[in-house]
Structure 1
Amino acid sequence: MKYISTLLLILIMSACQFNQSQAHHTQANHTQAQQDIQTQTNSSMSPVFELITLGDTGGIEDGNLSSFLLRSVNDENFIGLDAGSLVNGINVALQNNAFDSLTTTPDSALNPNGNILHHHVKAYLLSHGHLDHVAGLLIASPDDSSKPIYALSSVNQTMSDTYFNWQAWANFTNRGIAPMLNKYDVIDLAPQETVEIKDTALTVTPFSLSHPLESTAFVIEHNNDMFVYFGDTGPDEVEKQGKLDTVWRYLAQQMQHKTLRGISIEVSFDNSRPDNLLFGHLTPKWLMQELTKFHGLVEDKAQLTNMKIIISHIKYSLKSGAEPRAVITQELESDNALGFNFILAKQGQVVSL
């Protein structure tokens, strides 16, 4: 009997030790799984794009007009997203050490701004032909390097008819009025058709936007990551064309298997601006209404929390009183019930996405 009791005790102790071992093993597996998930999350949110602001206003401050540079962090070649201010924007960005991450200096005979313009900016994407989006490119064109200009056909036609016509400016492109100087290869984009951007690791899919002159949203991709640059646009409810809705639905569908890293979109005026004087632009109220529609279409709402929304094209004012940026900032914050991550663009600024 004593022998049986001892045997039972040994069996019970062994079972306890086994259960403790299994529990420890299960806990270790659970901890490792949590670490793996966290590692994957951290990895997935490592920066994919770098955005440099060359110009943040929609007028009237010349020298600081709508213009950005975008690149994949794995590639030192940029694309220009509009070019209202170009060389001046590059100079301000250099003063702010915006290009310090670049490791190559292709031409020792050029100043830093010359190397950026000639060798690192590989293409321009023009949203529309208004001067506050193209003036920098025109002024720089005599000393620019050869590269393509991508735009919707109507935008390229405006550039050819209005500027590169030997009256407003010499024809530095490969189409239009002779003599053609052939510096810029003009490439027509078709709405909602994806093309590779030469000499970069990026692709672009354009969408038409509502504006007095046809404008464009560019969905730029690198592998499974996206960034969207919006040219000037009015809200759908005012414009009655549903063009922003088309972009939102496309992005929501793509976000089922891709990551939207950021959006750059305009807010030209504060909420006091009447709808009949918007002229194809947004206010904080209208932007929030558009983003709310977008939010409702996206399945994974966490993507929208992580996504950065860069606000640009705020109109500079000569009037005394509250500064437009401060008013628009306050209006965006007070109406941000969905927790969007807003960043006001500032000339010379670098944003990792």
Structure 2
Amino acid sequence: MASQEERAALQVIVLGSGGGPIETNTTAFLVRSVAKQWSKGSLLAVDAGVHLASISEILEKNNGSFDDKNSENELENSRNQKQPKRVLSNGPFAGMELQHESIKANAGYITGVLVGTYLITHPHLDHISGLVVNSSSLPRNQPKIIAGLPSTISALKTHIFNNIIWPNLSDENNGAGLVSYMRLVEDKSPSLFNSEDDGFVEVCEGLQVKTWSVSHGHCVEKHEKLSSTPESQSSENPRIRAGSTSSFTTSERNLRKSSFHDRLCFSESSAFLIQDVVTRTEILMFGDVEPDSISLFPRNKNVWTAAASRIVAGNLRGIFIECSYDDTRSVDGLFGHLAPRYLIEELKVLAAEVDKLRTRDRRKRKRASDCFAKYMRRKTKTESAQLSPYSSDFAEKDYYETDSKDDEFNDSDESCQSLYIPESAPTEKSNDEPQVTPLKGIKLIIIHIKEKLDDSPNVADIIHQQLLEHERQAQLGCEIIISSVGQSLYF
């Protein structure tokens, strides 16, 4: 029997599973189409809070776990002064042919040759710092692609690769040309009216992506209003006495307060539907995200509506989503993140959308079944009489066409008109059959857990238990997995 890895279409390698504050474990993944094996440009890096260091660490753990390829030709290799090719036999990079002797050189090969694109959910440091620091080692023969929403690319271009925070390594504004920006267009069309491939963009070998923007909290910024009064413009105020314990008098504090105005700003993140081009197998990967129920700009429902149709179609297999804090965290301390109670709340929205689609499909099948039953009754009557040449020809067909002039079939059932009915039309689900939980078969991978710097129990274990309890009560049916560095997940 084929193993899960052999049957799978997508592999996800977890380079970083956390959300800080420890900088060696921040959000980062590698995704590949299994059909592309380990070919050039076949790896998609989704976020890169950590990158090269984590790849090196994973390779080091599996150092020596390889098979000699073409071992039967060792004599020929020695004559040609060639080293036998080595292929990793286990670990996340199993099946990859090692190109070098040292770990750092092989890690550089993965980053420089195998990774084709960096797909960034949003430009916060815990999602990009590895990319930025590692970017100076990128090969110069072909620029690496950095893909994301226009807001993400704008932030990277303006605030990171700007020759101040970091050199401009892009191919824009006379940069060094090591990276090239790809601005993704958000999918805003109702999924029910889309064709299967609408909105997808190929981002690397064997993988294409559909993108949505989601909300990641808000902040209130205070901006000082410009004043034309000399007093407010002067840096030296004669009313400030030398040696005073306060820089401002009470009236001056009030004046200063009134000189500020509040501006509400939103933090935008992304959700990516990543699809294997060959099999249409999909995973959904979220950046940082807040619940719709407390958001000032709720946008998750659009993602769940689209995801529901992919679940019903059997394409979507896994959802990577954050759960930064446990349920003891107060609402005002979430800062645009999820806790277990809110994550389950979001999943209930997805489950409701799945149930809605499946109910609609059952009704369609029920109508088809009713129409089929009418034809079977009519067919029984006609077969009891002598068959005419017309009915003989009709009986040889493997489907039945309705006649809009047929009074029996036309009686107050317009849904049966001009309907093609198969010989074995499906019937509506029996009430005696066990009810299928809406998210059965879906792997829910929890990411971006923020560690506590104290002696309290492991927060990941607490979050896991809280999620399991919420899921048990909600009866969603999904498998909940806590991500960890070095994990290899197949879909």
Pairwise TM-score range, normalised by the shorter structure: 0.7 to 0.9
Secondary structure, aligned partner of 2:23: coil
> What is the distance in 2 between the residues matched to 1:170 and 1:280?
30
1:303 Cα shift?
7.3
> What is the distance in 2 between the residues matched to 1:46 and 1:205?
24
Secondary structure, aligned partner of 1:306: coil
Q: Of 216, 224, 229, which aligns to 2:270?
A: 216
Counterparts of 1:22-171 in structure 2, within 5 Å, are 46-75=7-36, 76=38, 77-97=42-62, 98-105=91-98, 111-145=105-139, 146-171=143-168
Matched residues, percent identical? Answer: 30
Amino acid at match of 1:217: A
- Give the conservation status (yes or no) of the 8 Å contact 1:96–1:348: no
Q: Which runs of 5+ in 1 are unaligned?
A: 1-38
Q: Deviations over 1:16-51 (max 9, x none)?
A: xxxxxxxxxxxxxxxxxxxxxxx9xx99x9321111
Aligned length: 311
2:207 matches 1:202: yes
Q: Of 349, 352, 358, which aligns to 1:293?
A: 349
Q: Deviations over 1:43-89 (max 9, x none)?
A: 9x932111100001111111111000011111222100100000111
1:284 Cα shift?
0.7
> What is the distance in 2 between the residues matched to 1:105 and 1:94?
10
- Give the conservation status (yes or no) of the 8 Å contact 1:260–1:303: no
2:483 matches 1:345: yes
Partner of 1:180: 175
Amino acid at match of 1:344: I
2:311 matches 1:255: yes
> What is the distance in 2 between the residues matched to 1:268 and 1:175?
35
Secondary structure, aligned partner of 2:167: coil
In 2 relative to 1, CA 99–317 (structure 1 residues): closer, same or farther, beyond 3 Å? same
- Give the conservation status (yes or no) of the 8 Å contact 2:92–2:486: no
Secondary structure, aligned partner of 2:206: coil
- Give the conservation status (yes or no) of the 8 Å contact 1:165–1:171: yes
- Give the conservation status (yes or no) of the 8 Å contact 1:52–1:351: yes
Secondary structure, aligned partner of 2:329: coil
Secondary structure, aligned partner of 2:466: helix
2:327 matches 1:276: no
> What is the distance in 2 between the residues matched to 1:324 and 1:88?
24
Q: Which runs of 5+ in 2 are unaligned?
A: 63-90, 188-198, 218-266, 359-435
* Bigger Rg over Cα: 2
> What is the distance in 2 between the residues matched to 1:96 and 1:208?
37
1:175 Cα shift?
2.2
Partner of 1:331: 466
Q: Deviations over 1:73-130 (max 9, x none)?
A: 1122210010000011112222344344233345679722111111111111000000
In 2 relative to 1, CA 96–340 (structure 1 residues): closer, same or farther, beyond 3 Å? farther
2:244 matches 1:244: no
Q: Deviations over 1:247-277 (max 9, x none)?
A: 0001112334341111110000001111122
TM-score computed with the length of structure 1 as normaliser = 0.82
Range 234-243 or range 295-304, more displaced: 295-304
Secondary structure, aligned partner of 2:450: coil
Amino acid at match of 2:55: I
Range 95-104 or range 125-134, more displaced: 95-104
- Give the conservation status (yes or no) of the 8 Å contact 1:55–1:68: yes
